Structure 1
Amino acid sequence: MTINNIVLFDGVCNLCSGFVQFVIKREKNSNISFASLQSEEGRRLLKEYGVDSSSVDSIVFIKNEKAYIKSKAFFEIIQNLKAPWPLLRIFSFLPLRFNNAVYDLIAKNRYKMMGKKESCWLPSKSMSNRFIDTIG
């Protein structure tokens, strides 16, 4: 079974939940599904794709049977958005080490910048069909 276009995100992080909502509003084809990292399905997918949950704490993108993490996940996700957002991929030509350092800096400080919820964010009824295993 080919698994395509699934974003795993930190469901208690306001920045990550906001990013998910940003993606949903700007997608070209509405072909991305979502699951929180804290959900049963999120944990199962991390394990299935060999992603160490201790090394990933914000966003993972699964596309064509491959899991992308950190800045690579971000650049893969924005490729699915309407213009002008895919233009941000120009930054993917910077060294991966640099892009991941920027990503890690944001990820490390995301709760300080945007806050954290007590429990996972749940989508509205109109968005719920886009989410896999929303209770976690």
Structure 2
Amino acid sequence: MNVLIFDGECNMCSAFVRFVIKNNKNRDFRITDFNSDWYYTHSELLPNVDSMILIINERKIYTYSDAFIHVLTNINKKFYPVLTLKILPRIIRDNVYKLIAKYRKRIVRKKTCDIPTRSQQEYFL
């Protein structure tokens, strides 16, 4: 099972999760947020990380820009070209990720919460 952990209180993160669900072709892909019971039982995996987290088969853990890249390539083969971003040094990619994350609440503003449909609920832990 592959699990994406995200900030459920962040509108940008929620928009990304909607995009992931819409484009997902991987039946083993699941989603949860930092406030879920699943996260609390598995939080020893990465304490104090201010990033989305992707866990692949409970062995490989990605954060920051690597998580973003590997989420896309994990959900759908059409996103494999995104792997070319790994040509850039991780420090550069991660700094861009952190800069966007710092201002994410100003970039995407939304007053309402999304309620997943029944078909979307199957992806959530």
Query: Scaled by the length of structure 2, what TM-score is found?
Result: 0.86
Deviation at 1:21, TM superposition (A): 1.1
Residue number in structure 2 paired with 1:41 = 38
Residue number in structure 2 paired with 1:63 = 56
When structure 1 is superposed on structure 2, of 101-110 and 74-83 the one drifting more is: 74-83
1:23-66 CA-to-partner distances (Å, cap 9, x unmatched) read 1111233331010112121232222x1x123x32x411000322
Residue number in structure 2 paired with 1:17 = 14
- Let me know the Cα RMSD of the aligned residues: 2.0
Deviation at 1:127, TM superposition (A): 1.1
Is 1:102 equivalent to 2:96 in the alignment? yes
Q: Which runs of 5+ in 1 are unaligned?
A: none
Amino acid at match of 2:98: D
Residue number in structure 1 paired with 2:109 = 115
Whether the aligned pair in 1 keeps the contact of 2:29 and 2:75 (CA below 8 Å) is no
Whether the aligned pair in 1 keeps the contact of 2:20 and 2:75 (CA below 8 Å) is yes
More helix by share: 2
Instruction: Look up the SS of the partner of 1:123 in the other structure.
Output: coil
Query: Scaled by the length of structure 1, what TM-score is found?
Result: 0.80
2:84 aligned residue (83, 86, 90): 90
Q: Which runs of 5+ in 2 are unaligned?
A: none
CA pair 126-111 structure 1, distance change in 2 beyond 3 A: same
Whether the aligned pair in 1 keeps the contact of 2:31 and 2:123 (CA below 8 Å) is yes
